[in-house]
Amino acid sequence: MVYLPSFLRDPIALILGEKCTETLIDRFDILEPTCLRFAISKALGIAIVAGGCIVKLPQIYKIISSKSARGLSLASFLLETMANFVNIAYSIRQNFPFTTFGESVFIGIQNYFIAITIMILNGQELLGMVAAGMLVVVAYLLNDSSWTSGNFLATLQALTIPLLISSRIPQILKIHKEKTTGQLSSFSVFNYFLGTLARIYTTFVEVDNNLVLVGYLLSLVTNGILAAQMIYYWNSSPKSSKLKKH
């Protein structure tokens, strides 16, 4: 038997539960399949949530430092923000562990900021202020059961699947058209791709919900396309710049 001090064991038990803590820590049976899968899922979940706290920060820095939103699709960020808000509300209502959806909270906030910033940089300050207020109201209503029923929220969650795909398509098409990734952050793109891959595993292990799983599987495809474009157009210059040289 292995005994850890309570200040070390208690946080582990809080994450893994008493049963798996006894198996993996106290008895040191680290190859027990059920608890091992669960522990890996929790570790990945925590890593994804931690990554979600910073995944869009390079993108935000890139936009602010360059004072440009070139190459970024406003529609993509707005659609993704809405999908984030719906996913957060649905996950909370379903009592999913925070480690299975927590990154959506932080990514949603960052997407919200990016979308408003794009509007401002495009000279749409009034639209940006209106959108900022409306998105906050929508987020509140989604989390208020008196306004949004569980069945309706489940329907919205199902709609986030095409919504997530739709949020990537404008960006994918914009990159294809301009032959450059512009101000799109490579860190954000690759982090998203790897995070989605890991999230599929955590959803499969911890969340018995095919609706959520399908959403992540389809997100993996679109995130993979963006990652491939990022590599393909890594050193490409904007199309307009090439034309000016001629």
Are 86 and 130 in a shared domain?
A: yes
At residue 240, the pLDDT reads 46
> Residue 148 in contact with residue 19, Cβ under 8 Å?
no
**Helix/strand/coil (H, E, C) string of the chain?**
CCCCCHHHHHHHHHHHCHHHHHHHHHCCCCCCHHHHHHHHHHHHHHHHHHHHHHCCHHHHHHHHHHCCCCCCCHHHHHHHHHHHHHHHHHHHHCCCCHHHCHHHHHHHHHHHHHHHHHHHHCCCHHHHHHHHHHHHHHHHHHHCCCCCCHHHHHHHHHHHHHHHHHHHHHHHHHHHHHCCCCCCCHHHHHHHHHHHHHHHHHHHHHCCCHHHHHHHHHHHHHHHHHHHHHHHCCCCCCHHHHHHHC
- Split into its structural domains, the chain has a count of 3
At residue 7, the pLDDT reads 80
At residue 42, the pLDDT reads 92
Are 44 and 99 in a shared domain?
A: no
Q: Would 212 be classed as within a structural domain?
A: yes
> Residue 90 in contact with residue 152, Cβ under 8 Å?
no
Last residue in a domain, options 92, 125, 148:
148
At residue 9, the pLDDT reads 85
At residue 1, the pLDDT reads 64
Are 131 and 168 in a shared domain?
A: no
Model pLDDT for residues 113-150, shown as the tens digit of each residue: 999 999 999 888 898 899 999 999 999 999 898 999 98
At residue 75, the pLDDT reads 84
Q: How many CA atoms lie within 13 A of 187 on its CB side?
A: 11
Are 40 and 112 in a shared domain?
A: no
At residue 2, the pLDDT reads 64
At residue 238, the pLDDT reads 57
Are 49 and 60 in a shared domain?
A: no
Per-residue pLDDT of the chain (246 residues; tens, 9 = 90+): 667 788 888 888 988 999 999 998 888 888 899 999 999 999 999 999 998 898 889 889 989 998 888 878 888 888 889 989 999 999 999 898 898 889 899 999 999 999 999 999 988 889 889 999 999 999 999 989 899 998 999 999 888 888 777 778 888 988 888 888 877 888 888 988 998 899 899 888 888 788 888 888 988 999 999 999 999 988 766 554 444 444
- Which domain does 22 fall in, by range? 9-53
Q: Would 93 be classed as within a structural domain?
A: yes
Are 127 and 202 in a shared domain?
A: no
CATH number for the domain spanning 211: value is 1.20.1280
> Residue 157 in contact with residue 73, Cβ under 8 Å?
no
Q: What is the pTM of this model?
A: 0.76
Q: Would 49 be classed as within a structural domain?
A: yes
